[in-house]
Amino acid sequence: MRRKGNPAFGRRFLGNVNKKEVHDLDNEKTGAHECQINEIIKAKHARTFSPDSLEQANREGYDYCAYCLSYTLMKKALITVKLGPEAARMSNTEIVKDIREGSEIPLCSEIEKVEVMKNA
C-alpha cells in the first residue's frame, strides 16, 4: 500500500537504508516477518528513489525484497503442442477451454495464454 506522507510521498518503491533492500509498495506483504514497511518508516530507515523505479534502486546497489519483489525472479515457459485429431472438429474456443481446464503441467502455477493455430 502506498503512503502519502513523509517519507514515502506516494511513491511506489521504498528503500530500507539499513538493509539496502527495496520494496514494491503496490505488492506489499504484511505478514509478521515480511516487508515490515511501517517498522522501516518508524526506524527512519526509509528512502525513495528518483526516478521512482526498480532500475534506479538497482543502480544504487539495493537488493530486491524476497516477499514483495519475488515476481521479478519468476520464470515462464512457452510450450507448443500438436493437438490430436479430435481437435480438428472443435472450435478454437472449445479447445482453449479444454486445455485450460484439463491441463496438468509440472511447475505451472497459472496458464497465462493459450493460442490455437493451424499446424502448418
Question: Which stretches of the chain bind Zn ion, using CB under 5 A?
Answer: 23, 35, 65, 67-68
Interatomic CA distance for residues 46 and 14, integer angstroms: 6
The set of residues, in sequence order, having a beta carbon less than 8 Å from that of 9 and lying 6+ positions away, is 48
| Shortest Cβ 6–Zn ion spacing (Å) | 20
Task: Report the relative pairing of strands 63-64 and 21-24 from DSSP bridges.
Answer: parallel
Question: Shortest Cβ distance from residue 110 to Zn ion (Å)?
Answer: 22
Q: Which is nearer to Zn ion, 54 or 116 (CB)?
A: 54
Q: How far is the CB of 31 from Zn ion (least distance, A)?
A: 10
Report the run of H or E that residue 103 belongs to, with start and end.
none
How far apart CA 73 and CA 50 sit, in angstroms, is: 23
**Is 21 within 8 Å of 37 (Cβ atoms)?**
no
Chain position whose Cβ is nearest to Zn ion: 65
Q: Which helix (H) or strand (E) segment is 16 a member of?
A: strand 13-16
CB-wise, 57 or 65, nearer to Zn ion?
A: 65
Nearer Cβ to Zn ion (66/111): 66
Q: Find the shortest distance in angstroms from Cβ 109 to Zn ion.
A: 20
Nearer to Zn ion, 19 or 97 (CB): 19
